[in-house]
Amino acid sequence: MATQNLTTTAASRGLSSAEAALLLERDGPNLLPGKPPVPLWRRIAAQLRDPLIVVLLVAAALTLVTGDLTDMAVIMLVIVVNTAVGVGQEIRADRAITALTQLTAPAARVVRDGIEREIPAGDVVVGDLLVLAEGDIVPADAVVAEAAALLVDESALTGESVPVEKSRDEPVSSGTVVVRGRGRAVVTAIGLASATGRIASLMAQGSGLTPLQRRLMGVGRLLAGVTVLLCTLVLALGLVRGQPVELMVITAISLVVAAVPESLPAVVTLSLALGARRMAVRNALVRRLPAVETLGSVTVLATDKTGTLTEGRMLVKHLWTPAGEATVTGTGYAPEGLFTRDPSLDDESLTDLLSAAALCNDARLAREDGEWTALGDPTEAALLAAAGKHGLDRSLLERRLPRTAEQPFDSGRKRMSTAHRRPGGGGMVLCKGAPEALLHPPVLRDDPALLARAAERADQLAAAGYRVLAVARADTETVPETAEERDLSLLGLIAIQDPPRPAAAATIAACKRAGIRPVLITGDHPGTARAIAADVGIIGPHDTVVDCRDAASLDGDGASVYARATPEQKLDLVQAMRERGDIVAMTGDGVNDGPALRRADIGVAMGRRGTEVARQAADLVLADDDLDTVVAAVEEGRRVYTNIRRFLVYGLSGGAAEIAVMLLGPLAGLALPLLPAQILWINLLTHGLPGVALGGEPALPATMTAPPRPPSQSILGAGLWQRVIRIAVVLTAVALGVGLWAYDTGRPWQSMIFFALGATQLGVALGSRTRPGSLANPMLLLAVGGAFILQLAGLYLPLLNDLLGTEPLGVGDLMIVTALSALGYAAARLDRFVHRRDR
């Protein structure tokens, strides 16, 4: 049966049970298909494909060949822990489409066989006649067949703060909410073909690798290539000098392990975990660990408006009467606030205006768990809240002036009117609506000059981003039987706004100081978007606002405000900015934000007011909906990135020094500067706990005043390679200098090189601290102290002497080498002074 015929039939009596069964069998249920689960082995394999993990697996295999089971166990433990954490975080990131399924109403009211009945939402089919009432979630896309004051909240899909009135033949979308009135609608699309389904399809597209993951993959490839090349060179030089083949093969394998900073994954994981823990204390819940660092790298903060930059509820901000104006302060619907008024504005004029707005009104305010909430049209709720702030009680007004007649609001008249009986006889007619629908005869009988003045002020308020209502009244000698909209007198204008969040302006300013470009992407009207963007500091008074409905293309370049953006356009804008090289963070709270949150480098969702779809699509959820938490998260991200670079300087300089000693020692007459076991021991102590503890260093003082790092910059860029070389030169010079002196004076030169190289690297760890004179990060102090004691044990413990091939040093020699090892600390401090950005 054709859909058109079904629609025609359904508009009168709905489908029959037989017709519905056939359509359900043909089209399937009104559900979003779940994403097939990814097998655990596939998740683990994806984690193990990381180049650095591959290098570690090879190193573990090589240590097994050498018989060094201890070092192999350490490496395998790092691999297992890192893989387990990665898999656990990845599982949580796959729930966004499931949340969309849960958003759909669990039940729907339809007309079947001419009888109204309730069925599971999944059984709704194309052609069904839906019955909609206040509070219902629309279960499928439909076209309105009947409407009585039907008002639908579409903010979760479009971002529009103001509910939309729906008339006959107008569409309603799945996932939207009926906030007032009633109606019937014929279903036109279900499942994936519906509005919610289209967004689900968009969210199936993943976000790809994070910047940190891309950078670490590059490091892994580079280290793998360089390490194999240099260690092959050491092997060749040893064989040329006549060293035994087996010894040089084991030595080369040991150098591979030593040169690769195998604790890097542990350092990264610990740094991210500590950052996530600190952010949780600040009410920022991290869903994917790499997201911690990604926030520190963002160059663009793309934000939604409704519920993100704004409070997500309408409030009266300005009142205008012929006698003067008033400004309303106070947040929320609670009856606490302050009216700042012109001296010429008398209390009677203000009371008349707000009393009329409260009586010509169908909304309700309710107090639940100590918080005031709105029932009905948010605009009408804002009028009730303003009346309450002025001390007017809606229930008392209704008892004194009961309603006798009404004309509901409709899009044709753009106004609503009510009639009321006065207690002493007679009555009144009240009317509120759009200024263009009221400010003219015969609706109003006021002087044309007054109407012109009111129209001019209404235009000014609208241009500033407010929704403006005009309110009028007519007194009657008898009780009116109809709410006739003629010969009324203007009481005034009411300007309503979804106000900015208190922290929004400070957050935007902090982002700008940190070199992050804020961009507003909203489905709201360009005028409203401009007003909010100007209020919070995103744009200036003369900056461009792009209307996405009129834009020929959306390349994400130049403009800072994009209005009337659809979910698909939000997605396109985020993708365009990423393709231009930006690292994009996207904040939002609605279903319409889900695809963009998923596609961005990092998605940030509101936890309280946000939809479940937004929360599940995001990498970071703000539990308290406070945008200031985003700034704290950016600081944590930069701290994590700096600490990872700090470890790389420390770990790579030590590994480079070990290779340099093995390459240059034979040329200086030291046949084999270090034995394989000694290399592995130094590597275990220096790259173990001290390296991991570096991940807990506090943030730099100027973290939030420095610009973000260029997206294309390698994690080894910005002078890091030069820093590695500078420190490695000092480490190499100390180790070889000690060795040559000991060799010439008949001392146990190999043991002295062993101790000097390890102790000097521990000095570098202490010199790498952010605050060297404080007790910040005490774990690093304990780790370095413990490693130094174990290094001494390698010299003086007989069991380790046999294992490592070392000899005890005399007290004088030990003191000399220990004093020279302090050059490692000095080199790190001097390097941090020279390269101040990563101090």
How far from the centroid of its chain's Cα atoms is residue 559's Cα?
Answer: 21
Position 664 pLDDT exceeds 90: no
Q: What are phi and psi of 806, to 5 degrees?
A: -105, 165
Q: Which residue has the tokens 């005399």?
A: 810
Q: Using CA atoms, how far apart are residues 725 and 223, in angstroms rounded to an integer?
A: 15
Cis geometry, peptide bond prior to residue 442 (ω within 30 degrees of 0) = yes
Active site members: 304
User: Residue type at 573?
Assistant: L
Q: Can you read off the two tokens belonging to residue 257? A: 């392990």
Say if residues 469 and 491 touch (Cβ distance below 8 Å).
no
Whole-number pLDDT of residue 2: 40
Q: Comparing 403-407, 538-542, 561-565, 680-684, which segment has the lowest mean pLDDT? A: 680-684
What's the whole-number average pLDDT of the chain? 80
DSSP state of 34: P
768-803, pLDDT tens digit by residue?
888 777 777 888 889 889 989 999 998 998 888 887
Position 193 pLDDT exceeds 60: yes
Q: Which residue has the tokens 């007679």?
A: 426
Q: Using CA atoms, how far apart are residues 375 and 530, in angstroms rounded to an integer?
A: 29
Q: What is the CA radius of gyration of the chain?
A: 35
Say if residues 363 and 384 touch (Cβ distance below 8 Å).
yes
Position 613 pLDDT exceeds 80: no
290-322, pLDDT tens digit by residue?
777 777 788 899 888 877 788 778 899 999 999
C-alpha distance from residue 410 to each of 166, 437, 729 (Å):
9, 11, 80
Strands 620-622 and 602-606: parallel
C-alpha distance from residue 694 to each of 55, 586, 769, 838 (Å):
22, 30, 8, 13
Question: Which of residues 600 and 36 earns the better pLDDT score?
Answer: 600
* Torsion 731-734-737-738 (CA) sign: negative
Q: Using CA atoms, how far apart are residues 68 and 70, in angstroms rounded to an integer?
A: 6
| Selection from 650, 653, 659, 662 nearest residue 750 by Cα | 662
Q: Comparing 207-216, 279-288, 584-593, which segment has the lowest mean pLDDT? A: 207-216
Whole-number pLDDT of residue 438: 93
Q: Is 780 left (phi over 0), alpha (psi -120 to 50) or beta?
A: alpha
| Selection from 504, 499, 500 nearest residue 629 by Cα | 504
∠ Cα 738 691 726 (to 5°): 50
Q: Using CA atoms, how far apart are residues 507 and 628, in angstroms rounded to an integer?
A: 5
| Selection from 588, 575, 576 nearest residue 96 by Cα | 588
What's the predicted TM-score (pTM) here?
Answer: 0.65
Mean pLDDT of 751-780: 86
Mean pLDDT of 570-588: 85
Say if residues 555 and 576 touch (Cβ distance below 8 Å).
yes
Whole-number pLDDT of residue 484: 92
* Ordered domains of the chain (ranges, CATH): 3-30+99-203 (2.70.150.10), 232-280+637-699+715-838 (1.20.1110.10), 290-310+502-625 (3.40.50.1000), 315-497 (3.40.1110.10)
